Structure 1
């Protein structure tokens, strides 16, 4: 075998060992952290850990449809090429209420 092939194989083997070691040490570290937090009644808020707020962005309802291709546009952002600003009613989608 060539030296390059042997070295690449050694790198791959070492990477596998590193991944296993990191998983093991990480699990141990998390267990220690949980034990200390429990022992001293520490909350995540005290550590400055902030959970991400749920997204409030809702998908928009399409307002316009291209009769040729069937693609839609919500009316937000840059208008698509097929949209005719002078006659928007032509592309309007009937909204159910």
Structure 2
């Protein structure tokens, strides 16, 4: 059975080979890209202009302006999520959402 030192040496050698293989594959990819760019007359600026930058993630939970207001109590509702009880009861009596629109 190999010793710990032998196994560590093997791991270091494998990691070195992995890094070398990654460098070679990366160099080959870059050469291929340069050849395609030369073939089609593209520049780095052409690539930068065509690639859309990823949009930053929008933080959830932000405030939304209210769209409906109970004139009697001043309570509001943005129109998102479940309808509040005051609006449900008013709609049940025959009123419409337009009656509460801000």
Q: Give the TM interval when normalised to the shorter protein.
A: 0.3 to 0.5
TM-score (norm 1): 0.43
Structure number with higher helix proportion: 2
